[in-house]
């Protein structure tokens, strides 16, 4: 499994889509998500390949649920072709963080979206979000932990 991360327009997501996605996750009613996809098709893309959606984009959705519809809807807020994640190196970072004790919010993951009983998770491998300020805090936290780990190794 590889860690993927993207520059995400969280403010736009909050204004345009978050409530619709959370309602669909809670109720299972995806009509509003389908309307969002239909109304915004020109600014959406395939979340796996990054290609623009065509008129028959519904055939691309394997499981017709809020997670999959949400996955396509979210591409309005990021470019799937611009992955800046840790790739396979995320395991090393996770091990380092685990060795430091409990950290309330993972600096490489963030927080889930949606109800606790049904958080947004289209790939069933975890889907997490961080606002811009939290990304800066996460980077500072990782840099501090990395520096402290380096100092411990040199002692």
12-17: average pLDDT: 96
Token pair recorded at residue 139: 């980077």
Q: Give the model's pLDDT for residue 10.
A: 94
pLDDT digits (tens, 9 = 90+) for 16-51: 999 999 999 999 999 999 999 999 999 999 998 899
Helices and strands, number each (H, E), in the chain: 6, 0
Mark 1-35 as b/e (b = at least 16 C-beta within 10 Å): eebebbebebeebeebbbebbbbbbeeeebebbbe
141 φ/ψ angles, rounded to the nearest 5 degrees: -65, -45
111-118: average pLDDT: 92
Q: What is the pTM of this model?
A: 0.83
Confidence of residue 155 (pLDDT cuts 50, 70, 90): low
Domain boundaries, the chain: 10-154
In the chain, what percentage of residues exceed pLDDT 90?
50
């Amino acid at each position: 499994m590889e860690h993927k991360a993207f520059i995400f327009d969280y403010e736009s997501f909050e204004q345009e889509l978050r409530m619709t996605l959370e309602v669909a996750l809670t109720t299972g009613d995806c009509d509003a998500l389908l309307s969002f996809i239909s109304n915004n098709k020109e600014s959406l893309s395939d979340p796996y390949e990054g290609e623009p959606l065509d008129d028959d984009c519904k055939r691309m959705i394997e499981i017709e649920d809020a997670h999959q519809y949400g996955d396509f809807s979210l591409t309005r807020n990021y470019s799937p072709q611009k992955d800046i994640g840790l790739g396979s190196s995320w395991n090393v970072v996770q091990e380092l963080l685990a060795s430091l004790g409990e950290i309330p919010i993972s600096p490489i993951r963030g927080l889930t979206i949606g109800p606790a009983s049904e958080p947004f998770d289209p790939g069933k491998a975890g889907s997490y979000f961080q606002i811009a300020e939290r990304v800066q805090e996460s980077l500072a936290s990782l840099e501090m932990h990395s520096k402290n780990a380096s100092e411990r190794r040199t002692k």
